[in-house]
Amino acid sequence: MYIKRLILMLLTVVSMTFANDVDLDQLVVEAKKTNKHILVFLHITGCNYCLNMEEFTFDDEMVIAAIKKDFIFVDINVRDEGLVSFDGFKVSKLKFAKEIGYPMYPSCLFFDQNGELVYDEVGYRDENEFLETLKMVSSKAYNDIE
């Protein structure tokens, strides 16, 4: 289980600084180069649903493989220190979640290669449900949703 978590952490392309900042603007540039979506996992300390997503959903080998193949994974605990840079603004992680309209946890936000939010899921998803979401987003089927 710990090896899987380590692998998932290694998949995170987020540039870590001592302040634990997240530069989503830079990740959009990376997404364009790699033709991947950006998956932002917003969660909060003390949330059992968030913990279950971390321990079960993101620990699943098929989920790990799907994320590695088609996504840039960004893990944001909104209670952690550090800033999020996005669309020319630099705010705290909690303020980022609130300003983008997702102060509920866990939330998974999917951005395309242009930095546009194209899909979201709020609440716990088990590995099978989340794998279906990953397939839908990677195939850009969200364009077919009205």
Looking at residue 19, its pLDDT comes to 54
- Could you report the per-residue pLDDT of 17-52, keeping only the tens digit for each? 345 899 999 999 999 999 999 999 999 999 999 999
Q: What is the mean pLDDT of residues 72-88?
A: 95
Question: If you search the block for the tokens 């990953």, which residue do you land on?
Answer: 134
Q: What is the mean pLDDT of residues 111-136?
A: 96
Looking at residue 132, its pLDDT comes to 97
Q: Which two tokens stand for residue 80?
A: 């952690």
DSSP 37: E
Give whole-number Cα distances, 32 to 27, 111, 120, in Å: 9, 11, 20
**What residue spans of the chain are helical by DSSP H?**
2-11, 24-34, 48-52, 61-70, 93-99, 127-138
What's the distance, CA 79 to chain centroid?
Answer: 16
- Could you report the per-residue pLDDT of 103-117, keeping only the tens digit for each? 999 999 999 999 999
Which one, of 17, 40, 41, 43, lies nearest residue 27 by Cα? 40
Q: What is the Cβ-side half-sphere exposure of residue 39, based on CA atoms within 13 angstroms?
A: 28
If one counts every other C-beta atom within 10 angstroms of the C-beta of residue 116, the result is 9
The whole-model pTM stands at 0.85
**Average pLDDT, rounded, for the chain:** 89
